[in-house]
Amino acid sequence: MGFSVSGSAAIIFVGVFLAFSTAYTASADGFERVSDARSAVDEQALERQNTVIDVTNASYGNGTLSVEVVNEGATGLSVGAVDLLVDNAYRDNFTARTVAGSNSTDLWLPGERLRLDVSAPNRPDRIKVVSGPGVADVEVL
């Protein structure tokens, strides 16, 4: 009788041990996944707080619209992530897209001026520039 009790206790113990190790791994992985996501979102919120852009000049002439935007924030932005809306139409066929005179860089650092040139058959009314973190500025021509 005594041997059957210890045998069954051992089987149940092994079962509980296996179940606990599975549950622990799944919980730890899940917790880490969610906390990673939260930390990425926190970092992005900080980046957004540090972002300020200002359309300093927008001019139209000879079928080309030129927009100059200054990064007045404290964080570096990506040129590729900048969106330009001309009269609410999305434009990405830039004839020129330069930061401080260079068209090869993707970095738009604090204090630098981004120049966007697009062709426009008619004189537009409103221009909206949206940066990567979603911070935007509107200019009326």
Partner 1 sequence: MASVSASHLILFIASLVIAAGVAGTFTQGISRLSQGIDDQSLEVSEEVRTDIEVISDAGSPVYNNSSKTVTLLVKNTGTAAIPADDRFIDILVDGRYRTNVTVTVVDGAEWRPNNVVRLEIGGTDLSPGDHRAKVIVNGDEEVFAFRV
One-character DSSP codes across 59-105: EEETTEEEEEEEE-SSS-EEGGG-EEEETTEEE--EEEEEETTBSS-
Question: Per CB under 8 A, does 126 bind partner 1?
Answer: yes
Question: Per CB under 8 A, does 8 bind partner 1?
Answer: yes
For residue 84, give the nearest of 38, 16, 11, 138 by alpha carbon.
138
Count, residues near partner 1 per rule CB under 8 A: 51
Binding residue (CB under 8 A) for partner 1 from 92, 95, 102, 111: 92
Question: Per CB under 8 A, does 109 bind partner 1?
Answer: no
Question: Per CB under 8 A, does 73 bind partner 1?
Answer: no
Question: Per CB under 8 A, does 5 bind partner 1?
Answer: yes
Question: Counting Cβ atoms within 10 Å, is residue 124 exposed (0-12), middle (13-18) or buried (19+)?
Answer: buried
C-alpha separations of 70 from 42, 65, 86 in Å: 25, 17, 18
Using CB under 8 A, list all residues that contact partner 1. Answer: 1, 3-5, 7-9, 11-12, 14-16, 18-20, 22-23, 25-27, 29-31, 33-34, 36-38, 40-41, 44, 48, 78, 80-81, 83, 85, 87-88, 90, 92, 125-126, 128, 130, 132-134, 136, 138, 140
